[in-house]
Amino acid sequence: QSALTQPPSVSGSPGQSVTISCTGTSSDVGGYNYVSWYQQFPGKAPKLMIYDVNKRPSGVPDSFSGSKSGNTASLTISGLQAEDEADYYCCSFAGTFYVFGTGTKVTVL
């Protein structure tokens, strides 16, 4: 039941791309294509940005993309904008329950 490992912070200049990693095990990230990513602003509920590794819900810009290789999932934000500055959490199915990541703060320089 350990939390998935994310870098505490990543940063980039407007227009650049940033990638957030989410490392788990073969019992969660590596075992299922059920990885999701959430964006959260202070005082707000998390917002779903990616589900099932690489699918975007309606309304989420295509600047957000997801992928997975082995036990590590990744979220890439292309063409970084000021409004993308937020906390991001990954989440993975782990058999009979879900486990969240430790969270990453994205800073736009």
Partner 1 sequence: QLHLQESGPGLVKPSEALSLTCTVSGGSISSSDYFWGWIRQPPGKGPEWIGSVYYSGATFYKPSLTSRLTISVDTSKNQFSLRLTSVTAADTAIYYCVREYKGSSLADPWGQGTLVTVSS
**Residue 89 binding partner 1, by CB under 8 A:** yes
Which C-beta is closer to partner 1: that of 19 or that of 54?
Answer: 54
Provide the residue type at 9 as one letter: S
Provide the residue type at 22 as one letter: C
Q: How far is the CB of 63 from partner 1 (least distance, A)?
A: 19
Q: How far is the CB of 77 from partner 1 (least distance, A)?
A: 19
Question: Do residues 17 and 92 make contact, with C-beta atoms less than 8 angstroms apart?
Answer: no
Interface with partner 1 by CB under 8 A: which range of 10-18, 19-27, 29-37, 78-86?
29-37
Q: DSSP assignment, residue 101?
A: B
- 3-class state of residue 45 by DSSP: coil
Question: Do residues 107 and 85 make contact, with C-beta atoms less than 8 angstroms apart?
Answer: yes
And the tokens for 66? 């997801």
Which positions touch partner 1 (CB under 8 A)? Answer: 1, 3, 34-36, 38, 45-46, 48, 51-52, 55, 57, 89, 91-93, 96-103
